[in-house]
A and B are shown apart, each in its own frame.
Chain A
């Protein structure tokens, strides 16, 4: 018989507070998808190898499959559902559509969250550096060129806050 206690945690996701009673081994990714029904964050490998589950946690991009939900008690999280302002898309989301930066769309939430985190980090200056620092986010459709074009456009525009 299982005797693991449920843990009470609080997560602020997309500016909304959620109280959760959760088993300690539930990943942040599964908590978002299965408990909070925020399925925009994707599971591609569950091993930190593909980047599809990237979210912004306390200002930094993280792989939500490699974090347990209980470790993020009290954290402020932005998922893809919180990137747009209502129906007004973020410039990066608009740029993704304009540059055809996705095909199947499954890696897209992770690419966008990762790019927002990368732009905040401020380390990448050139296109080559952006490519390097986005390389943790796989795209199997091969929409890579459009993804980097979209990020570069927003980076140059400077309106990525």
Chain B
């Protein structure tokens, strides 16, 4: 791009007006004539089968239209593969109402459809199931002996197994003069976006559906619906213009979509299904994980041996896996390594990616061990990381496309005042509070998926861009408009980005911090192609002043095409359209990572977080008072929305460390706190003073724009920085998350 006028500017969200006035419509808010309401009924047992179901009382209720259970579910797609969405892990996808088997507590077992929501909900109390219960396993810590290697499948390339061992870990660890080791247990977490999962299906007749759905992937859900219900792709349109948060939970179609579409097709009516908050705990979650680490270092403070072994929970029907253990070796060199990752299948719903999946859990354990090893060596924790700093990826020996982690350490430490830290635990007191300072490193992948974008020069001489991606609150609309406007030489109000619609050109689901790079790169490619087409057209205009001007001397600026450095030679977009017989000019192009080039490199975003917290000496209550995160994530398209991504993920990190956990009753196999009163997330009063620093990081390899993504990196360092600050405040190493006050008493 020759004139970056908007990229890099803190533009306010373009959909701001809609969101602050209540005009932004979410999946449950689209009106449709004679709409029916569906209410989902969930299993109250954990494992077994349904022996019988009695719907008579429900059907006698005025206003009830139909009850769907496994007994009357119509025959649908037969092959499991037809239910496999783009994010399906190896295994057998759960098919709602397909049989009488109960696989987990909270499994959907019926849909009641009524003329209004209140009737459907009341009717659910009249529906009677007789179950036969079987023994079950739901607690990871009691089932560690069942752990086995994850199965391989279509998603394995995106989530590869851990790297092979190097050297002789056991010997090197035994001989290391300095050692640190620990076991880490992480609680289950649920995404709990504020918007409830919801689908409004508009029955258009003739096997044609318009579906407003809460999802991170419009095309993913379009394909799922078409495959499962045997509909033509072009007859299924999935729209998600506004998504009230998702954090990974919308990477796969959720069961309300299936049930809503089932009802709409069977009843040939418009149907809406909205989950309740307690039902938001009845599908994917961040899994329980148990991690064991042993790191050894020599007298110079260099790491010689690293072992990270983990067991994650999965369901009995799918092998969900995370990239949990290889992160340490993407940061720190070591001659002897041993990485292991296993799964223990339990009678629970399949977990699903939740913000920084694997990375945030793995890095918590790694960076706590690093802190402990620094203390054993009597080296400042930051200095210890610098001694083990690597400009290349030690696990692959490849260079990084870019790595400005050192800048993150330096800028973060300076802003925080890290050099003033007294390393002695429990050495700083403020009134009745112990004060702790902790730091940690963060790392996350820099993904880019293939994407297609359509670019249209409209009759009004403006630019339209079309792509199927969602904007789950990340600022996608705004950054894509910035990218397109700069590439075309237009202002923001002359560019319209249309998205959140499966009819638009291809986009993967919005996840893994990948969409800005993916759709952004596709937009650049498409607009470049559009410009080529426009240049060709203006050269063909009779008496065109551009006839003899080489293409590289032609630039697009301020709604015109110019000869570079020749302001008198120009043609406006309006004139171009007139010359084109008032027809629009459009192109569609596929953009994607340059895999041959990228193969020679490792790619990652990095961060460093610094945290101050206070702990009440008597009560053990912990409050974070200050947090700084410095991020190296390539080109920042919009510092305002990117900063919000980092601030939000820092709060997620604090929440994982100190607040949220879903508690399982192992006797019932059921989550006990499936509501927002007892599932604690930080409220306004919990939010500390926070700062975000973006390191200058130029990346000319990763993609044309140098984008690496910011959705997850801000979270990965925080939990360890919090835990390390707690050690600094108290001298206690608490490895299990979340850390609540009782663990300090």
Residues of chain A touching chain B, judged by Cβ–Cβ distance below 8 Å, are: 1-2, 23, 25-26, 30, 33-34, 37-47, 49-50, 52, 79-81, 83-84, 89, 93, 96-98, 100, 102-109, 112, 128, 130-132, 134-148
Contact = CB atoms under 8 A, between A and B. Distances in A.
A145 B687 contact: yes
A103 B677 CA distance: 22
B648 A103 contact: yes
Contacts of A46: 276-277
Nearest to B691: A145
Nearest to B12: A97
A147 to B, nearest CB: 7
23 contacts: A1-B60, A39-B22, A39-B25, A39-B29, A41-B22, A42-B194, A43-B28, A44-B194, A44-B196, A79-B22, A81-B23, A93-B21, A100-B640, A102-B16, A103-B648, A104-B195, A104-B242, A105-B18, A132-B685, A138-B194, A142-B651, A147-B684, A148-B687
Nearest to B650: A142
The 5 closest A-B pairs by CB, nearest first: A40-B22, A106-B244, A104-B473, A142-B648, A105-B19
Nearest to A105: B19
B683 interface: yes
Interface in B238-253: 242-245, 247
B13 interface: yes
A138 B23 contact: no
B194 A107 contact: yes
Contacts of B12: 97-98, 100
Interface residues of B, number: 64
B601 to A, nearest CB: 31
Interface of B: 12-13, 15-26, 28-29, 31, 60-63, 116-119, 122, 192-196, 242-245, 247, 274, 276-277, 472-475, 640-641, 643-645, 647-652, 675-677, 681-685, 687, 690
Contacts of A96: 16, 20
Nearest to B274: A43
A106 B194 contact: yes
Chain B contact residues: helix, strand, loop or mixed:
loop
Q: Is the interface of A mostly helix, strand, loop or mixed?
A: loop
B687 A44 contact: no
Given A2-B62, A33-B29, A104 B23 contact: no
B647 to A, nearest CB: 6
Contacts of A38: 22
B676 A44 contact: yes
Contact of B194 (A26, A37, A39, A104): A104
A51 to B, nearest CB: 9
Contacts of A144: 651, 682-684, 687
A134 B684 CA distance: 7
B245 A83 contact: no
Contacts of B245: 103-104, 106, 140-141
B194 to A, nearest CB: 4
Residue from A83, A97, A142 having most chain B Cβ neighbours under 10 A: A142
Contacts of B650: 142
A44 B116 CA distance: 19
Given A37-B31, A103-B473, A93 B20 contact: yes
B192 A140 contact: yes
A50 B19 contact: no
Given A47-B677, A144-B683, 13 more contacts: A1-B61, A23-B118, A43-B28, A44-B676, A45-B277, A89-B21, A96-B20, A97-B17, A108-B20, A136-B683, A138-B194, A139-B684, A140-B192
